[in-house]
Amino acid sequence: MNTPERPHILQIGPLLPLLETWLRDRYVVCLLDDAPDPAAFLAEQGARFTGAVTSLFGISAEQIAALPNLRIISNFGVGVDKIPLEVTRARDIAVGNTPDVLNDCVADTAFALLLGVARATPEADRYVRAGRWGQPGQNSFHLGRKVSGARLGIVGLGRIGKTIARRALGFEMDLRYHARHPVADAPWQYESSLVELARWADFLVVITAGGAGTRHLINGPVLDALGPRGFLINVSRGSVVDEQALVRALAEKKIAGAGLDVFENEPRVPAELLTMDNVVLLPHIASGTEETRQAMAQRVIDNLDLFFAERRLVSEAR
């Protein structure tokens, strides 16, 4: 009896090793990075791929055009701003992502950054390691900023934004949010003006979607409104923050500090940020726990398996 041929999957960029193993166990997988000339490879071999898997690298409109039989893209992550959805919709290509399974870890990271920059814990750690504590001529370590009872503004109140808001309850924080529209089931105060939200907030946490519609949403006027005692936390996409405006605001002490997990041109980080003690920098690890990454990997597989079996997805990007 003939066994049906396994679908051919194009892998764009490296993935979690566990996910790569699972993919190879189920499908015929080709890593595009292995091709000496990726464009030439797709021109010659693109027709054999019915599925693609990617992550932060996304997939371009040109790559999709070179895959005439592509039916599904399964993304390792929630954000799909590097997948041209207008192209996939026109081609009726399903796009799966991994919502919900990473809400807790991203929310935890937002608060790790918030606490880290407010209480200067990374800076204090460096202070101790350098042997400066208690040395002659050294003043005591500078005071931090109290978090409990502070005003928290959230930019974007989707699944992760709501999880962050619930974390804030434990710190007895006053909370308001900004989004394109009020969220129907949200008990927190909606602020239609992002500038006014920033002016009100002690801490402004950004967790909105990326893409053209939110590019540089956090700009000079927003940072000016946040003010010299305000802190910016970004766990969304680097493109949402005007990075040069942020560098200027920090250098000129227009805001008190920033906690950043994402950057405009990852993995490149502006050199100015590397020298600032009032900035906490992470290498895009908000979802980076063993448990969450495994759950994300499982969702990538589940989306592929369900699509090829029943032409539907566990979670479809909109």
Residue type, 148: S
Question: What is d(CA 231, CA 238) in angstroms, rounded to the nearest whole number?
Answer: 16
**Which residues, at least 6 apart from 316, have a Cβ–Cβ distance to it below 8 Å?**
94, 95, 96, 97
Q: How far apart are CA 28 and CA 114, in angstroms?
A: 43
Buried b / exposed e over 249-259, threshold 16 CB at 10 Å, is: bbeeebbbbbb
Q: Quick one: tokens of 274?
A: 């590397």
> CA 276, CA 272: separation in Å to the nearest integer?
7
Q: Could you tell me the sign of the dihedral formed by the alpha carbons of 49, 30, 33, 209, in that order?
A: positive
Kindly list the catalytic residues.
237, 266, 284
Q: What one-character DSSP code corresponds to residue 218?
A: B
Query: For 146, phi and psi rounded to 5 degrees?
Result: -70, 135
- How far apart are the C-alpha atoms of 31 and 204, rounded to whole Å? 39
* 211 secondary structure, DSSP code: S
